Amino acid sequence: MKKFLLYIAVALSVVSCGIYSFTGTNIQPDVKTISIPLVEYKALRVNPSLANDLTVALQDKFRKLTTLEQVDEDGDLELLCEVTGYDTKATAVTANEVAAQNRLTVTVKIEFTNRKYPEDDVSQSFSAYEDYDSTNSLDAVEAGLCESIVEKLVEDIFNATVAQW
């Protein structure tokens, strides 16, 4: 009987708090919608698919891990994102002063607005990178590198906005 009462007490406390989620989000119960418009691309070096890939990945992440309805505009939450940097640099140089390894870095800036709880607004930049062997051209490895970078960026953005980590 004691175990049963303990179980009921724990279940009620989890349900009654209203904002806890098993996905780790911290969204108030009256927040129902989110707008995630197309990511703007403002970096000098061009990757024609990156903005779209990042948009789709963000939308998928919020769709899978929240109960928020995605709307085109005027959501309770709004996530504006722009790619501000897309750079490749040598990270390891051999004794002959030749690059042995290069690093592709993508930087994004977000403006996250919570129209119901403005204290949860976030304005922040994020960057993620992947290293690749200099014997490969960027063109040869770019798609795979960007896929991994987008995953990291989406995780960081999600955690900083609705997970508030």
Q: Is residue 53 part of a domain?
A: yes
**Tens-place pLDDT, residues 114-125:** 999 999 999 999
- Find the CATH number of the domain harbouring 97: 3.30.160.150
Look at residue 11 and tell me whether its pLDDT is greater than 50.
Answer: no
* Maximum CA extent, the chain: 75
Q: Which residue, among 109, 62, 57, has the nearest Cα to 81 in the 3D structure? A: 109
Q: What is the pLDDT of residue 95?
A: 66
Check if the beta carbon of residue 107 is closer than 8 Å to that of residue 80: no
Q: Is residue 17 part of a domain?
A: no
**Tens-place pLDDT, residues 82-94:** 999 999 998 877 6
Q: What is the pTM of this model?
A: 0.82
What is the tally of structural domains in the chain?
Answer: 1
3-state secondary structure the chain: CHHHHHHHHHHHHHHHHCCECCCCCECCCCCCEEECCCCEECCCCCCCCHHHHHHHHHHHHHHHHCCCEECCCCCCEEEEEEEEEEEEEEEEECCCCCEEEEEEEEEEEEEEEECCCHHHCEEEEEEEEEEEECCCCHHHHHHHHHHHHHHHHHHHHHHHHCCCC
Local confidence band at 17 (pLDDT 50, 70, 90 cut-offs): very low
Q: Is residue 20 part of a domain?
A: no
**Where in the sequence is the domain holding 72, given as residue range(s)?**
31-161
Q: Is residue 37 part of a domain?
A: yes
